[in-house]
Amino acid sequence: MAVHIYTSKEVAKIMEAGMIAFETHMRLREYIRPGVSTAELDEIAREFIYSRRAIPAFLGLYNFPASICTCVNDAVVHGLPNRKTILRPGDIISIDLGVGYNGYYADTAWTWPVGEVSAEARKLITVTQQCLFKGIAEARVENRIGAIGEAVQKHAEANGFSVVRQLVGHGIGRSIHEEPQVPNYGRRKDGIKIRAGMVLAIEPMVNAGTHDVYTDSDQWTVRTKDGKWSAHFEHTVAITSQGPVICTLPKGANVNVFQLMGLEVAGVNQ
Ligand code: MG
């Protein structure tokens, strides 16, 4: 399948979807605390997205029965929200969500601490978010797709973590999953050339232990094989000749994402 090249008008529409997706994360952030179930978070997200006259893109995608993916601690991606999973102090939760708006899509994931978390968990969250921004910085027309994965993998491994191999980022735009695949590992010389007009969902999944994963008996939730924790961040990124533009953060705003999350970056090998 060919890689779509989007016009600036189309990118503007993807950004509209991206802003609703960002606002959904910010709404969910208010509810991420001990005692809330992942099913409740799913309902809050669904109602919010519909209130903006948008569509929760994951609902029904490959028959997924919820609007967001919720992954607690050792869960990596595709976590199925449910009433039994109730957040406890010290947990971490990643929330991945897609939004469709006027025929265009955006996809974004954040990982949050629940109350006070361990130093190791804070480091995992911080490094994973840094991996995402290091990957985004390589999403430029002079590079190949492999430059993104190389940057992500180097930073994760320099900090003693591993990157998941079985799941990758992807193109996005008129549908939620498009070509090309965007691995979080590899070498700069790998993959196709990055071109202006590509829109990529870049989404490092970083594990504290082994990169190996398996699928839970719920048929959806992907977990680490060794039970160690995992974090996941994702932005939808439009490639322009001037560089990457993040469609799932407020445009031009100086968003200090680490401050927003109450995270310090001390003790991280940058
Ligand atoms: Mg994605």
pLDDT digits (tens, 9 = 90+) for 32-66: 999 999 999 999 999 999 999 999 999 999 999 99
Rounded to the nearest angstrom, the distance between the alpha carbon of 149 and the centre of ligand 1 is 15
Rounded to the nearest angstrom, the distance between the alpha carbon of 233 and the centre of ligand 1 is 9
The answer to whether position 3 is within a domain reads no
The answer to whether position 184 is within a domain reads yes
Rounded to the nearest angstrom, the distance between the alpha carbon of 203 and the centre of ligand 1 is 6
Q: Is the dihedral of CA 152, 154, 156, 161 positive or negative?
A: positive
Rounded to the nearest angstrom, the distance between the alpha carbon of 175 and the centre of ligand 1 is 11
Rounded to the nearest angstrom, the distance between the alpha carbon of 237 and the centre of ligand 1 is 11
The model's pLDDT over 59-99, given as tens digits with 9 standing for 90+, comes to 999 999 999 999 999 999 999 999 999 999 999 999 999 99
Q: What's the rounded Cα separation, in Å, for the pair 181 and 64?
A: 21
Rounded to the nearest angstrom, the distance between the alpha carbon of 108 and the centre of ligand 1 is 7
Q: Strand, coil or helix: what is 127?
A: helix
Tally of domains within the chain: 1
Q: What's the rounded Cα separation, in Å, for the pair 267 and 46?
A: 37
pLDDT at 254 (0 to 100): 45
The answer to whether position 266 is within a domain reads no
The answer to whether position 1 is within a domain reads no
**Residue matched to tokens 């193109």:** 171
Whole-model pTM? Answer: 0.94
- Residue 117's domain comprises 8-260
pLDDT at 261 (0 to 100): 54
pLDDT at 266 (0 to 100): 37
Rounded to the nearest angstrom, the distance between the alpha carbon of 256 and the centre of ligand 1 is 22
The answer to whether position 76 is within a domain reads yes
- What does pLDDT average to in each consecutive run of 10 residues of the chain (270 residues)? 93 97 96 98 98 98 97 98 98 98 98 96 96 95 97 97 97 97 97 97 98 96 98 97 93 53 44
Rounded to the nearest angstrom, the distance between the alpha carbon of 170 and the centre of ligand 1 is 6
> For residue 200, what is the domain's CATH number?
3.90.230.10
> Contact 149/186 with Cβ under 8 angstroms?
yes
Rounded to the nearest angstrom, the distance between the alpha carbon of 88 and the centre of ligand 1 is 26
The answer to whether position 268 is within a domain reads no
